[in-house]
Amino acid sequence: MDTRNLTQWLKSEALKQGFAFVGISKATALDEEARYLEKWLSEGRHGAMKYMENHFDKRIDPRKLVEGARSVISLMYNYYTDEKPSDPQAPKISTYAFGEDYHQVIKKKLWQLMADLKEKAGDFQGRCFVDSAPVMERDWAKRSGLGWMGKNTLLIHPKAGSFFFLAEIILDLEFEYDTAMKDYCGTCTRCIDACPTDAIAKEGYRLDAGKCISYFTIEYRGESIPEDFQGQFDQWMFGCDICQEVCPWNRFSTRHKEPAFEPHPELMGMRVSDWQELTEEVFAELFKKSPVKRTGFKGLQRNIRFLGLPSEKITNDQA
């Protein structure tokens, strides 16, 4: 199969696997992105995520991850839903974590896609990634024409918004390559204005992880969240969707079709009092296959305590 037909077949097959968009870039060093990353790290904007400093060479060159790599296939998988907790006062969880862990759900689809590709193209060397290795996924998706990097630093697709997981296949086959699209954020500053902790730079396009609600509620391992941020978390106990919720481009978001991303039957009915009285057993049942396991039971308890839900408010809710 020639390069053109192989490219068309791959994109068609990826859509059959449930991916919303597919783009392909030539595997090469990310020189410009490397300079930005180096500056971002040197300024300490990665907070306590020291692992971001590791494997710098692999982050900026996919050929360090797959020897002889020629192509980076970028894929987007929708996770958007407009479903909300029944109690509007309850602590909030980022939409991406409502259902099962996306790492496993999407990686299975990537493995199947790679197996099908080998039947078409013959044997090849390749690896698939779902936020699981030093791959600069948003930069590759941008290079592959799947969107632009918004002022909130998330990838935005002009017809579908930003509620997508990103995944990659790096391999030593050649394809027809896509080109990057222009930035359509324009003069909009809604994400910058809406961020309660000022984690997004005033000019946009740069995130200070050490101020980000998602960072503190997921990645941060301290016993307590710094008091400087008290009252600024807007009820988010795991992750944060504020900069996506206010983004005009997400008016084009459509509900996902992935059964694995449906929330646990009891999750959306949890009230304020249920969260404050959460036990380790209930946590294990609610989140046994969820990304929320990353923060752990004690971490989620810490986050809930930090929100400072007053006891009389809980009593009124119970009533």
Catalytic residue status for 101 = no
What is the Cα gyration radius of the chain?
20
Contacts of 113 (CB under 8 A, 6+ apart): 10, 13, 14, 17, 128, 169
Alpha carbon distance 221, 184 (integer Å): 36
| DSSP notation for 263-287 | PPTTGGG--HHHHHT--HHHHHHHT
| Partners of residue 76 on adjacent β-strands | 21, 166
Choosing from 87, 131, 172, 234, which is the catalytic residue? 131
Helix and strand numbers, DSSP H then E, in the chain: 12, 8
* Contact call for residues 60 and 34 (beta carbons, < 8 A): yes
Alpha carbon distance 55, 129 (integer Å): 15
Residues marked active site are found at 131
